[in-house]
Amino acid sequence: MPAPPTLELRDVVVSHGRRRVLHALRLDVRPGELLVVVGPSGSGKTTMLRAAAGLEPVDSGRVLIDGDDVTGTPPGDRDLAMVFADLALLPHLDVAANIGFGELARGARRREVRARVKEVAADFALTDLLRRRVTRLSGGEQQRVALARAVLRRPAAYLLDEPLSHLDPVLREEARTQVQVLRERDGAPVVLVTHDPHEALAMADRVAVLREGRIVQVGTPEEVYSSPADTFVARFVGPLPMNLLTREDGHVGVRPEHVRLGDDLDARIERVEHAGTEAVVHTTTERGPVVLRLPWGERPAVGDRVRLGWSREHLHAFDRDGRRLSR
Ligand code: ADP
Ligand code: MG
C-alpha cells in the first residue's frame, strides 16, 4: 500500500464574511513531493495554506496530517512550517537569532539550537552572515533565512506562500535551488503556491491548478500541460496560452508550438514578437485569434496573409462548458 498523504485537505470550505473563498477544496500532499499549487491572484492560494496551517478557521471539511485529524488543533501544534511572502523576519535580530528564535521559543535547549542553526545555515549558504542583522541582507539572503528557519522546525510539511515572486529573475533561479535543498534535506513534502505557471511547470513534481477556490486539475507538469482538464487550464498553464478555435459544439485547442504554416485556415499577421531564436506570431482568423511560434529567420511581416495548419494529433477538444473531451 502506498504511504498515506502527509497532508490532506478534505472538502475544506472557508468563507470571508459572506463570500465563500474555498469551495470543498480537496488536495493531498504525498510524502517527499514538491507540490506546486498555481492559480491567479485572488484564487484562494493564501487562504488554502492558512487553513492547512490552522491560521484560518474552516466552515466545514477536515485537515489531516499523517492521517491524524488536526482540524481543531491550534497552529503551533500542527507541525507545519509556513513561509509567508513577506518572510516575517524579526528586523532587530541577526541571522542566527532569526533562524533559531522559533525553536527557542518552543523550549528547545540553547546549545542544541545553536548547533542546528550552524548546520542549517551551511546548507543555505548563510554561514558567513550569521551575525548580521537581517535588515542588512539582500532580498535573496533574507529569503534563505526564512527557509532555514522553517527547516529548523523539522516540520511534517512545508507551506511556502509565493516565496519567489518578489525576487528578480536571477535571484529567483537561485531560490529555486534553495527550495530543492529544503525538500531534499529531510524528506518532508513542500507545498509551494504561486501565481506563475512557468514556475509551477519548472519546479513541481505535481501541479495543482486552483481556480476561484476550487482545484480544477492535479497532475505532473507534463500531464497538466499536455492534457489540460478544461479551457481555463489550457489558457493559464504554459509559456503561452493554448489557442482556442470556436466551433458549434465548443472549442478546439492547439498549442502555439503545434501551429505551422500549412493549409487549414487563412490568417492575417497582426504582431510579431521577438523571443530568442523564435518569433511569437499573432494572427487573426475567421475562427478567432491564433498565436504560433516560428524560427526567427522565417517570421512573416505584419500584414502578410498566410495559411495555418496543424496535425490532428495535436488538437484538443473541449465542450461548450470548456471541459476537455477525450484523451
Ligand atoms: P491568493 O493568495 O490566491 O491571491 P487569497 O487567498 O489571498 O488569494 O484570497 C482569496 C479571496 O479572498 C480574494 O478574493 C480575497 O480578496 C479574499 N480575502 C482574502 N483574505 C481576506 C480577508 N481577511 N477578509 C476578506 N476577504 C479576504
Ligand atoms: Mg496570496
Which candidate, 260, 56, 234, 239, places its Cα nearest to that of 159?
56
Whole-angstrom distance, CA of residue 243 vs CA of residue 251: 9
Taking CA atoms only, the protein residue closest to ligand 1 atom 18 is 16
Mutation choice for ligand 1 from 19, 37, 47, 56, CB with most ligand atoms inside 8 A? 47
Taking CA atoms only, the protein residue closest to ligand 1 atom 10 is 44
174 pLDDT more than 90:
no
Compute, in angstroms, the gap from residue 285 CA to the centroid of ligand 1.
38
pLDDT digits (tens, 9 = 90+) for 28-79: 999 999 999 999 999 999 999 999 999 999 999 999 999 999 999 999 899 9
Phi then psi for residue 108, to 5 deg, are: -70, 155
Ligand 1: residues whose CB is within 6 Å? 16-17, 21, 39, 41-47
Compute, in angstroms, the gap from residue 165 CA to the centroid of ligand 1.
17
Compute, in angstroms, the gap from residue 240 CA to the centroid of ligand 2.
23
> How many C-beta atoms surround the C-beta of residue 73 within 10 A?
14
Strand-pairing partners, residue 156, are none
Compute, in angstroms, the gap from residue 194 CA to the centroid of ligand 1.
14
307 pLDDT more than 70:
yes
Side-chain half-sphere exposure of 34, counting CA atoms within 13 A = 22
Taking CA atoms only, the protein residue closest to ligand 1 atom 13 is 42
- Nearest ligand, measured from the Cα of 84: 2
Q: What is the mean pLDDT of the chain?
A: 93
Residue list, CB under 5 A from ion ligand 2: 45-46
Phi then psi for residue 126, to 5 deg, are: -115, 5
232 Cβ contact list (under 8 Å, min separation 6): 209, 211, 216, 322
pLDDT digits (tens, 9 = 90+) for 205-230: 999 999 999 999 999 999 999 999 99
Question: Which pLDDT value is given to residue 234?
Answer: 98
3-class DSSP string for 5-16:
CCEEEEEEEEEE
Mean of the pLDDT values across residues 256-260? 96
Taking CA atoms only, the protein residue closest to ligand 1 atom 27 is 16
Confidence of residue 256 (pLDDT cuts 50, 70, 90): very high
Alpha helices, H only, the chain: 45-53, 95-105, 110-123, 139-152, 169-186, 197-203, 221-226, 231-236
Mutation choice for ligand 1 from 27, 41, 46, CB with most ligand atoms inside 8 A? 46
- Nearest ligand, measured from the Cα of 163: 2
Question: Which pLDDT value is given to residue 21?
Answer: 97
Could you please report the per-residue DSSP string of 221-250? HHHHHHS-SBHHHHHHSSSSPPEEEEETTE
Is the distance from CB of 228 to CB of 242 less than 8 angstroms?
Answer: yes
- Nearest ligand, measured from the Cα of 22: 1
DSSP state of 125: T
Could you please report the per-residue DSSP string of 75-111? GGGS-EEEE-TT----TTSBHHHHHHHHHHHTT--HH
Strand-pairing partners, residue 285, are 288
Is the distance from CB of 24 to CB of 13 less than 8 angstroms?
Answer: yes
Taking CA atoms only, the protein residue closest to ligand 1 atom 23 is 16
Phi then psi for residue 311, to 5 deg, are: -100, 150
184 pLDDT more than 90:
no
- Percent pLDDT > 70 in the chain is 99
Side-chain half-sphere exposure of 163, counting CA atoms within 13 A = 34
Per the listing, cell 518572510 goes with 87
Taking CA atoms only, the protein residue closest to ligand 1 atom 22 is 16
Atom of ligand 1 nearest to the CA of 210: 3
69 Cβ contact list (under 8 Å, min separation 6): 62, 63
pLDDT digits (tens, 9 = 90+) for 88-104: 899 999 999 999 998 99
Atom of ligand 1 nearest to the CA of 47: 6
Question: Which pLDDT value is given to residue 327?
Answer: 58
Sequence length of the chain is 327
DSSP state of 145: H
Strand-pairing partners, residue 280, are 273, 293
Taking CA atoms only, the protein residue closest to ligand 1 atom 15 is 42
1 pLDDT more than 70:
no
Mutation choice for ligand 1 from 9, 13, 16, CB with most ligand atoms inside 8 A? 16
pLDDT digits (tens, 9 = 90+) for 139-154: 889 989 999 999 998 8
Helix (H, G, I), strand (E, B) or coil at 281: strand
- What's the Cα-to-Cα distance from 148 to each of 83, 90, 101, 122, rounded to whole Å? 10, 14, 11, 9
